[in-house]
Every structure is written in C-alpha cells, then in structure tokens.
Amino acid sequence: MIRVVLPTHLRRLAQVDGEVQLQVEAPITQASVLDALEASYPALRGTIRDHGTLRRRPFVRFFACEEDLSHEPADAPLPEDVVTGREPFVVVGAMAGG
C-alpha cells in the first residue's frame, strides 16, 4: 500500500483522518499515486494539480524520504521506501501567507 499524507485543508476536504492508504498499480510515480488519490477522493481533483494540464499547483510541494520531489518528472519512479510503504508520500501546502 502507498501511504499519502495530506495537509489539513485537504484532509478535511476529502473527509479523512490521518494518512491515506492507496492501492496503486505499478509503476509507482507521482502521477500514478495522484491518479489513485483523486480516483478515491474526487473532491481533491483540481486542488493538488490543475484539472486540464495536471501540473502541480504552484504552492503545493511533494516530499518523501526527506527529499523534495516537487520538481521531479511526474512519471519518474518514486523512492523504493515509498513503494514498499515504509515511508509516506507527503503533499505539502507551502509555507506562505497568513
């Protein structure tokens, strides 16, 4: 299972507590994880990446294994520890604003 940590606002929108666990078909990439996330929680469509382009929204970041993966290609494989569920894929709302 792939573990996904969402920021507070998106947990409320998806009506989930804590981590989300997803069954994702290989290859495990940003795109496949986000596809599975949005399929399970349609309310999240458009909030992490744009509807049409599927580009990451500017103030959203993706972290895993103490690395910022935000600028990695969407179809690049995620770290093995994310694939095995040892580490979560973390969606972050960038620190900004008031």
Partner 1 sequence: MSRVRVLVGTRKGAFVLTADGKRDRWDVSGPHFPGWEIYHVNASPADPDRLYASQSSGWFGQVLQRSDDGGVTWQPVGNEFAYDGVPDTHQWYDGTQHPWEFARVWHLEPSLTDPDTVYAGVEDAALFRSQDGGKTWRELSGLRTHTTGPSWQPGAGGLCLHTIVLDPTRPERIVVAISAAGAFRSDDGGTTWQPINRGLRSQGIPDPDAQVGHCVHRLAMHPSRPDVLFMQKHWDVMRTDDSGDSWREVSGDLPTDFGFAIDVHAHEPETIYVVPIKSDSEHFPPDGKLRVYRSRTGGNDWEALTSGLPQQDCYVNVLRDAMAVDDLDSCGIYFGTTGGQVYASADAGDTWAPIVRDLPAVLSVEVQTLP
**Binding site residues, partner 1, CB under 8 A:** 7-10, 12-13, 43, 45-48, 50-52, 57, 59-60, 93-94, 96-97
Closer residue to partner 1, CB minimum distance, 18 or 97: 97
N- to C-terminal Cα separation, the chain: 35
Closer residue to partner 1, CB minimum distance, 45 or 77: 45
**Beta-carbon count within 10 A of 58 CB:** 9
Distance in Å, CB of 98 to partner 1, minimum: 9
Distance in Å, CB of 89 to partner 1, minimum: 17
State how far the alpha carbon of 35 is from the alpha carbons of 25, 40, 97, 98, in Å.
10, 9, 28, 30
